[in-house]
Chains A and B, each alone.
Chain A
Amino acid sequence: MKKWFSATVFMIALAMFVTGCGNNGNSSKPNENSSAPSKSASESPKSVDNEKEVQISFIHWRGEDTKVFNELIAKFEGENPKIKVEMSIFPSEQYLANAQAKLIDGTAGDVFASYPGAQFETMFKAGLYADLSDVGFKSKYTENLIKAGQKDGKQYAFPYQLVYNQPIYNKAIFEKLNLTPPKDWEGFLALCETLKSNGYVPIAFPGADIGPGQFMNSMMMNNNTDEEIWAKVETGQAKVTDEWFVKTLSQFKELNDKGYFQKDSLGTSKDIAGSLFAQEKAAMLATGSYMLASNLALNPELKQGLLAPITVAADQAVYEGIHTTTFLLGVSARSSKKDAAKKFVEFLSQAENAEKYANETGQLVTVNGVNYSTSELQETVSWTSKKTRFHPRYLISVAAIEKAVTSSIQEVIGGVDPVKAAENAQKIIDQNLKK
């Protein structure tokens, strides 16, 4: 009996010891008042030259940038021999899931990237961002392009990339057929018809993955010009069964029914759609400027431009395109190496380093004084002077609602009536309304 009792006590002690070692969402006690980050976080980066060597962790999702980041990290480590940077890359779809635990316990992600909108909001609420309002390198960024990293008047992250989330078109095909980007919906349909009758797929649409979530932005930008529309949908003040969204779905249906997307578009992934475009079988690619470089890698002869479908009459069009500032660089509020982390962000914010990043990845950046060397980037930079709207889908903060919206587009392309698809989406939205 005594032995049995001892064994039981040992077991309980072992269980308590092991479970005590684990991380618990409660036990780490995140910043309870997330809008008041730790004081040290808002100080300027200090010199770490006289300190012992530190290793900081940099996490993000852009596997395609590995090479240029490795080069930049090597340069940074050369300039800062006491700081080592360990880069970890997680796939974008599982980024939050992978980064979450590491960011919470502060074991990784001294410098971390995040998406704007829902992801930034979630991480902000958890108090993960150090306040970067007072850092000297803030002035290196274009002021109106870093708003996506601001909250309550403070700067918590610096959006690094400037992306245009609207279709890419093949300039050579357009020139050959004497076509120009149209100014209204009728013109867009006529353009697609001309392309189709000349043997081209008018629009390569990656309906299996990113297509609905990308193309919906430019398709809806002029159908409802209210930038608060998704906030209203999320609180029940507006519905997707309203005329503007049913119209957007109907226009998707029209493009599909007239054969302006490639056959079986819902089974087409981003890579396949990209290769249809790069092979010049398709004249437009419904993704965004982030694919200009990869298209060019597939076909160095490509001449690419950006356009957006204007879904209303020319005189009713308010916006010409869609932009996003993304890849928000933040410093973890839970990092014990904030100074070194801020030094690394400062390094990335220098014009010459941002320029290297931009020209090697084919992405515009939000840093001032950068010279773009490729024709694609020069084409893209011309859009900075146009009237573009911030990526509407990023303003949907509830993931279940976002998925209901993109699924309604897939339903319409799959043959469901736009009104019915909107009703199906609204039913899910009603179940997930923000309280």
Chain B
Amino acid sequence: MKHSKSLYLFILPGLAIYLLFFVYPTINGLILSFSSWDGFSERKWIGLDNYTRMLTGDSIFVRAFQNNMKFMISVVVFQTILSLFFAILLTKNTKKNVIYRVLFFFPTIISSIAVAFIWGFMYNPNVGVINSFLGNIGLDALSNNWLGNPAMAIYSIAFVQVWAHTGQMIVLFVAGLQSIPEELYEAVYLDGANRWQAFRNVTWPLVAPAATIVVAYTTIQSFKAFDLIFALTGGGPAYSTEILSTYIYHTAFQSSEFGYAAAQSMGFMVIIAIVTIGQFKLLRGNRAY
């Protein structure tokens, strides 16, 4: 079959949008990353200085990366396990299950700023409902300075992220679980398998492609969880919740170092790419089925 070259014209609108809104800003950002620019005066070309500074002379960048990893691991582990657990319970399309799925999905459609406002109030150590509730049931010892304790704050925000996005992942897992043929379960139970063995040998291998998507999506989502952290703690106290995206924002818009912020963004892009590619490689084996 002979293709007409004019067919390529059909990709032009999409290509134009891609070039303008993705390639051009990325290249512009890359060029900016080799400059010193305060956002007002003229740009000054400084070669690799921004990258040298980022890799060898910026302890906050390292700390932000560490916080990112803490946040990402907490969110990926708990969000994946919880969403799979609830998806298994809610696989069948009964009326009750659909209602539960809607309820679990509901936080996903609330804006991050509204979520931050709600949880900021709940976590408040002086007037928040969590500490009040714990106090009222005699568990005062468990009350905490959820967002003000530097050792605790990042995990408190990770909990909110899990709360807000588990419903979204449940939907992906339910779709994966519903595609597993019922006959496989009948066969494995006929062979005398218990529920755990059925999960291990049927459910998990066949839901693995959905798990791959969930893990990859959750990873990227947690790396870029800017709005929630910005609205809840702004990166504090004492950098304890500063992640790469909030740090880049602070570098650009508080320190007015746009060139350095662009270099940090490039580093951030590379980190996300490495983590995502690594995950895909690790989880690729799951696609054997």
Residues of A within 8 A of B (CB): 1, 3-4, 7, 11, 14-15, 18-19, 25-26, 30, 32, 93-94, 96-97, 100, 104, 122-123, 125-128, 207-209, 262-269, 272, 276, 398-400, 403, 407-408, 410-411, 413-414, 416, 427-428, 431
Contact = CB atoms under 8 A, between A and B. Distances in A.
Interface in B19-41: 19-20, 24, 37-41
A207 B148 contact: yes
A94 B149 CA distance: 25
A123 B125 CA distance: 39
B250 A403 contact: yes
Interface in B136-153: 145-150
A272 B15 contact: no
B126 interface: yes
23 contacts: A11-B15, A25-B42, A97-B252, A97-B253, A126-B40, A127-B40, A207-B148, A208-B147, A208-B148, A208-B233, A208-B236, A264-B145, A264-B149, A267-B148, A267-B149, A269-B124, A276-B126, A403-B250, A407-B238, A413-B237, A414-B237, A416-B238, A431-B58
A18 to B, nearest CB: 6
Contacts of B8: 4, 7
Interface centre among B8, B37, B146, B237 (most CB of A within 10 A): B237
A262 B38 CA distance: 39
A283 to B, nearest CB: 16
B12 A266 contact: no
Contact of A264 (B38, B43, B148): B148
A272 to B, nearest CB: 5
A104 B250 contact: no
B5 interface: yes
A407 B124 contact: no
A326 to B, nearest CB: 17
Given A3-B9, A407-B237, A427-B59, A267 B146 contact: yes
A40 to B, nearest CB: 21
Given A30-B40, A267-B145, A414-B237, A15 B126 contact: no
A122 B255 CA distance: 10
Given A100-B39, A266-B237, A7 B12 contact: yes
Contacts of A264: 125-126, 145, 148-149
A120 to B, nearest CB: 12
Contacts of A407: 236-239
A403 B251 CA distance: 11
B256 interface: yes
Given A3-B6, A125-B40, A267 B57 contact: no
A413 B148 CA distance: 10
Contact of A414 (B124, B146, B238, B255): B238
Nearest to B37: A25
B50 to A, nearest CB: 13
B127 A272 contact: yes
B271 interface: no
A129 to B, nearest CB: 11
A9 B6 CA distance: 15
A99 to B, nearest CB: 10
A427 B26 CA distance: 32
A126 B20 contact: no
Interface residues of B, number: 47
Interface centre among A127, A267, A411, A431 (most CB of B within 10 A): A267
Contacts of B236: 208, 407, 410
Contacts of A403: 250, 254
B107 interface: no
Given A96-B253, A104-B40, A431-B58, A267 B16 contact: no
A263 B250 CA distance: 29
B205 interface: no
Contacts of A427: 59
Nearest to A272: B126
Given A413-B237, A414-B148, 10 more contacts: A19-B24, A25-B39, A30-B41, A122-B40, A122-B256, A264-B149, A267-B149, A414-B237, A427-B59, A431-B59
Nearest to B252: A97
B38 A122 contact: yes
Contacts of B123: 267
B60 interface: yes
Interface string B103-146: 00000000000000000000111110000000000000000011
A179 to B, nearest CB: 24
B143 to A, nearest CB: 9
A400 B12 CA distance: 44
Contacts of A32: 42
A398 B255 contact: yes
Contact of A25 (B19, B43, B53, B147): B43
A399 B6 contact: no
A209 B9 contact: no
Nearest to B239: A407
A401 to B, nearest CB: 9
B234 interface: yes
Nearest to B5: A4
Given A122-B38, A410-B237, A410-B238, A96 B148 contact: no
Interface string B244-275: 00000011111110100000000000000000
A431 B58 CA distance: 6
Nearest to B260: A400
